[in-house]
Structure 1
Amino acid sequence: MRLQRLLVRGALVETPRTPDGEDRRIAALRALDVLDTPMEERFDRITRFASQLFDVPIALVSLIDQDRQWFKSAMGLDVRETSRAISFCGHTILTRKILLTPDALIDSRFSDNPLVRGAPYIRFYAGCPIYAECGSALGSLCLIDTKPRVLSETDLHALRDLALMVERELQRPESNILDEKTSICNRNGFSLLAEKGLDLCARRMTPASMVFIEIDGLNDDKESKETDRILYQFSEYLNCHLDHSALVARVEKNQFVALLIDASAAAAELAMINFKAAIEALHIRENWKYLLRFSHGVAEFNTNKHPTVDKLITDADIAMYDNKKQRRYADRANEAVN
């Protein structure tokens, strides 16, 4: 294979060659009508989860356009595009398999790359190609770290599974994995990601905890705009303020779940204390008619007790109802005293 090199910022950089069938590949990418669109939760939830799952600071959904690399989702990176000539993912679409660079400084393809010598200082890269239905490689789901890394076969399998989820979102955006009212995962979308996460946690012996949350006394009137607004804001806060990389979902009208990777039950409880404080501040700022109260329960993942995601959710649900029952007893005791 003939190498192509380009002088970039005083260094000769090995640029990715143009793949066969490039016109067809670009046509397939443009047909998706996704370039230069806003970031979306359906992709961000995957990169956010990948960043936490693999413990890397950067995870990207990268699409290779004619002269640029454009990011549909960029967890841990502030820019939305770079030149294709210096992109790692431009090389990934040529491989038809996961491209691994354990240490870019000693990889002749990338050692002089400005993305290695300068920000974001890439040392480790793993990119899994994502494809159009016609078979053309459009880009990749990639993991980036600022220090050298290696991935196990289990890790690679999990990365492939996540890349397939990105592929499905690109090819069939109408797939039913998001909750319509809140735009976070529904139970189906949650289960798909949580299953992969728990499987990897089990193999790595990494702790994980499930939180089950039920909003108390929320008006169930489907026509209530106030109820819809509260549900949306609660979901947004759960997604952003519970834990940076928690995977969250709405599973019923007033019930939510959250999977926290690398978190014991005690760490999950602490996260819920902080989340409650954030919701109380939101209540004051938004001037809600009443203080939103919710009950929660935590179940720590145990490979022997929790063979499925649903079993872990059930145990967290049971813990939530136990906590709710104890709070009711405490409230009645206080009323009797007063």
Structure 2
Amino acid sequence: MATFRIKRFNPEKQPEPYFEEFNLDIADGATLLDCMNEIKWTLDGSLTYRMSCRSAICGSCAVKANGHALLACQRQGEHLLDNDDTITLEPLGNMKPIKDLVVDFTPFWDKINKVKPYLEPKDEAPAKERHQSQEEFRIIDDASTCIMCGACYSDCNTLEVDDNFLGPAALAKAQRFVGDSRDSKTLQRVQDLSEPGGIWDCTHCGECVERCPKPARPFDRIKEIMTVALENGVHNNNGARHALSFTNSVKRSGNLNENRIPVESMGFFNIPGLLSLIPIGLRMLLKGKVPPVIHHSIDEVDDVKRIFKELDQ
């Protein structure tokens, strides 16, 4: 007998969410969605959640199970049991609950729309379709597999502290068009995506990749946009300057010059930004965390330079 600890919320009856427990025998091979249906159909018909295809295609049934977002139809219930034979279900994170496990996707869709998720072609429509080579399509193939389930958005650490961040789903969708050989707005897209709230606000934690039920791998798509931005000379922002400073530091000495990188990342002529580093520097000084003033190269720096030279060729 398994215990399902489900977070309930009905603003018409109770202003605050609460947990309710249901006991259920999990049938062999039953998915989490099967279990949720069994609870709804036999124990409490008021339990509310989204579902549709039951085949990990529509993305409707995404919920949090034991603290992590997943598709309820894609995971077997018995595989989610903790040591106490309990499964804790909650609505997706970073979105407001409407009722029980149903959340308001409005901010999610607003951010998808913000990245202009449509082709802006280079020329007039041809008599037939626009062609792409297999190599050109492979660049956008993975991003095209996103089913908009919201699992990555739910567990994004940046979104928990910054509502302005576009989020992994929107940025993965953006890469679908940044990388499209038929699109005419590549430069404009990466410029827009390099603004605050865009690609450089990603914390590189990789949580979105862990939660994505498809090969979309949002963080990988974000890195691809970063690469395109740098290749197109979109450097006038802290994130790009940090990436370039980080790379150049390793290229010059084989390790990081931790005194130089913050200054270069902020920008030499960004006086307010540079002044904002002073309190952090003072706290580091008081804690004995200030890096050595004189930066030394590693003994094998010539090997590092050789690697960079080979990569540049």
TM over 0.5: no
- Higher-Rg structure is 2
Instruction: Point out the structure with the larger strand share.
Output: 1
> What TM-score results when the alignment is normalised by the length of structure 1?
0.28
